[in-house]
Amino acid sequence: MFKRVGGWLWPENDTECAKVAFDLGALDIALDECKQFRSAVQAGGNCGVWPSRLARAFKTVYTAEPDPMNFACLAVNAAEPNIFKLQGCFGVRRGTVGFDMPDRNCGAGFAVGKGPIPVLRIDDLGLTDCDLIALDIEGMEADALEGAGMTIDRCHPVILIEEKGHGKRFGKPDGFAGKWLEYFGYKEAGRYARDIIYI
């Protein structure tokens, strides 16, 4: 069921995600934009590489990962006491969804239809000290940001999202999240591959 990749616990059938999961270039750019390092919200937590890195910079990290195999790896790999792990998704409405995971890429799963995976809003965390929101959630980035509207308005965190066309699954074309963030006074501050940083 599991294997070790550079010392990290990893789903045994993954052949793709581990090739790119340890590239922290986008996260490094976002961290350079942060003025404070109190709380960070991150999803998908995958096998824990990004949450573990954030735990070294922030006082508190909240991470969400819906896939049970990935979550088991995350629980082992990101065992720092300042990481709070949620087995679920961030979205715009509370509820539940199903989850579809490709056979060979544990980083490419996405929410689909009805199912047992809980969906929470980032606003449900009630944060007053959020300094970073980092989302790589295969098309649900815009929905998760909409579910973080109060947090964004209150804290104006640095925001990092992946954008590679998957938002169309949820009726959100590329550029939708950026246009929505403009309402809160955000502007694009940088790009790294398919990731965009807003401040």
Token pair of 130 as six digits: 């959020």
Residue 70 has pLDDT above 90, yes or no: yes
Contact yes or no for 70/11 (Cβ under 8 A): yes
What sign does the dihedral 109-110-116-122 (CA atoms) show? positive
- pTM of the predicted structure, to 2 decimals: 0.97
**What are the pLDDT digits (tens) for 83-99?**
999 999 999 999 999 99
pLDDT of residue 140: 94
Token pair of 142 as six digits: 């815009």
Average pLDDT, the chain: 96
pLDDT classification of 29: cutoffs 50, 70, 90: very high
Pairing of strands 95-100, 2-5: unpaired
What's 23-92+120-198's CATH class?
alpha beta
Q: Tell me how far apart the alpha carbons of residues 89 and 139 are, in angstroms, rounded to a whole number.
A: 12
Mean pLDDT over 161-181 rounds to 89
pLDDT classification of 157: cutoffs 50, 70, 90: very high
pLDDT of residue 165: 80
**Alpha helix (H) residue ranges in 80-192:** 141-146, 149-155, 176-182
With a CB cutoff of 8 Å and minimum separation 6, the contacts of 63 are: 41, 42, 43, 45, 48, 50, 51, 54, 74, 78, 83, 84, 85, 86
Q: What is the largest CA-CA distance in the chain?
A: 46
Contact yes or no for 16/104 (Cβ under 8 A): yes
Residue 104 has pLDDT above 90, yes or no: yes
Mean pLDDT over 174-197 rounds to 96
3-state DSSP assignment of residue 75: helix
**What are the pLDDT digits (tens) for 165-174?**
887 888 888 8
pLDDT of residue 186: 98
- Which residue, among 62, 133, 69, 78, has the nearest Cα to 107 in the 3D structure? 69
pLDDT of residue 171: 84
